[in-house]
Structure 1
Amino acid sequence: MKVVIVEDEIAASDNLSYLLHKIDPTIEILNVIDSVQGSIQYFSKSDEAELIFMDIHLADGISFEIFDKVKINTPIIFTTAYDQYALKAFKVNSVDYLLKPIDKEELSDAINKFKSAPEKEVTDSTSQMAGLLDLLKESQKTFKSSYLVHFKDELIPLKTNDISYFYIDTGMVKAVTFQNQSYTVDKKLEDIENELNPDLFFRINRQFIANREAVESMSFYFNGKLIVKTNPPSKERIVVSKAKSRAFKDWLNK
């Protein structure tokens, strides 16, 4: 079996090579590559490998970026340090992975799984990696932790965790804290939505973005809509459309 290893740590690649030869002395390691760019160059010219072992974090980037530049149909087993989000992504996309430090028995099981898999189960890795890259980028995205707002004659940082909801009031965006203090935010609601952690904030409708901790209850409205009660109470009725009601309930139920 012909194998390529993509790994930027010499000790890790040496250990993997050692374990592979212990498991099966006939395994031929075609190449050990330590970077995204090196991988792109290699796989652009060669498709001899029957199996690829690939680390996620390389010296010059994330290995998923390789699949933006080159199509790889060879089966891949990822090697990774523990990353709960990444592992969840792998399970969703049915990609095999091994946790570091690599265990010999788990490595052997992964190889046997590959050997016994029907040829028709070898899927297009490029499409899988595109989805994984999107998920990983989202998990690594940094979100806004505070906003500079006007308070009397000063500018003060207002922590996003202290904000109950954002809403539009006569064309201006206001941030209302859990202490029921209102501040003007010099930004569009659409821009604020993109800067907030979607696990903590939800765009309820065109006028409102609510903090999860601010939602006290909701009641049914006509035509499948919902009315949301917040803390502190909003002066305006907060209505969730029928189209958004399922997504809103799923968000609250996470």
Structure 2
Amino acid sequence: MKAIIIEDEKAAVRNLVALIHEIRPEAEVIATLDSINSTIEWFNSSSVIPDVIFMDIHLADGSAFEIFEHIKITTPVIFTTAYDEYALRAFKVNSIDYLLKPIDREDMEKALEQFDDLYTDHAHTFHDSTLEQLMHSLRQKESYKTHFLIPLRGDKLLPVAVSSILFFYIRDSRVKAVMADGNELPFTHTMDELTDCLDPSVFFRVNRQFLISRDAIKDIDLWFNNRLSINLKITSVDEHIIVSKTRVREFKDWFSGNYLSR
């Protein structure tokens, strides 16, 4: 595997080189470039085609996205950046992964696995359907709700930030939200609607009655038949919240941040 690194921080370059060689000892870093201009010059003059590019977004002379306006890059790109707001734009320009600094071994391993899965060496082509799924997932993430307007008695609407909600539950066929301060608010949305419109990296549908955030969890008990029983920080709901045996792995992945979007 031949790689080039486009990064203007020397420490970040050293870290990337070390991680690449640690995971793929046979890999060769054929160039390290620190600016838009040097990258354009390298691609215009070099006859070597890299297999993968590691690219920071903020370079000394501007945004790395400008590079794609001057030269055609067909090589897969793994973005490495301290900022998360460019993810969707990144996937429009040959990106196969988007790593946030500081980058560790686990991040790099997953990125290189993504490279192996999406890139066909002999054809130098991407699996378009997989990239479309990635972009769809990112677009969906941008559309998740961050606030609700809750009707109150009379002519009032109460603005509620999703970040202030610990969990939703159903009681007497009605959906209620429990807030960080312990207050409860009635919701007219169904639980299925809430599951679809809230970010699955934040909220998990434990069962038909409960949709919870990580912040709602006090601790977890091992339960009968390899199930889990979740104890909430707010104790007004005095019932066992059981994660079924078939969903335990999914719940653990979600809680650790390795969730799969729907």
| CA 215–123 in structure 1, closer or farther in 2 if over 3 Å, else same | same
| CA 84–142 in structure 1, closer or farther in 2 if over 3 Å, else same | farther
Q: TM-score, normalised by structure 2?
A: 0.55
Query: Which among 24, 49, 62 is matched to residue 47 of structure 2?
Result: 24
C-alpha displacement at 1:53, in angstroms? 5.2
CA deviations over 1:40-93 (Å, ceiling 9, x no partner): xxxxxxxxx9x825899xxxx96867xxxxxxxxxxx9479x9536x9685442
User: Percent identity between the aligned chains?
Assistant: 23
Residue pair 2:77, 2:94 contacting (<8 A) in 1 also? yes
Query: Which among 165, 168, 173 is matched to residue 167 of structure 2?
Result: 165
Query: Which among 212, 215, 227 is matched to residue 214 of structure 2?
Result: 212
Matching of residues 101-140 of structure 1 within 5 Å: 119=122, 122=124, 125-138=127-140, 140=141
RMSD: 4.1
Higher relative contact order (CA 8 A, sep 6+): 1
Query: Which among 226, 232, 235 is matched to residue 234 of structure 2?
Result: 232
Matching of residues 1-254 of structure 1 within 5 Å: 18-24=41-47, 52=74, 78=94, 83-84=98-99, 91-94=112-115, 119=122, 122=124, 125-138=127-140, 140-153=141-154, 154-233=156-235, 234-254=237-257
CA deviations over 1:111-149 (Å, ceiling 9, x no partner): xxx9xx973x745533443343344435x5232122222
| CA 124–251 in structure 1, closer or farther in 2 if over 3 Å, else same | closer
Tell which structure's C-alpha radius of gyration is larger.
Answer: 1
What amino acid does structure 2 have at the position aligned with 1:21?
N
CA deviations over 1:15-42 (Å, ceiling 9, x no partner): 76543232239xxxxxxx96xxxxxxxx
Unmatched tracts of structure 2, length 5 or more: 1-34, 49-67, 79-87, 258-262
Distance 1:247 1:157 in 2: 32
CA deviations over 1:150-204 (Å, ceiling 9, x no partner): 4444321122122121011111110111222111111111111112122221111
SS in structure 2 at match of 1:94: helix
SS in structure 2 at match of 1:52: coil
Residue pair 2:90, 2:98 contacting (<8 A) in 1 also? no
Distance 1:54 1:244 in 2: 35
Count of residue correspondences = 184
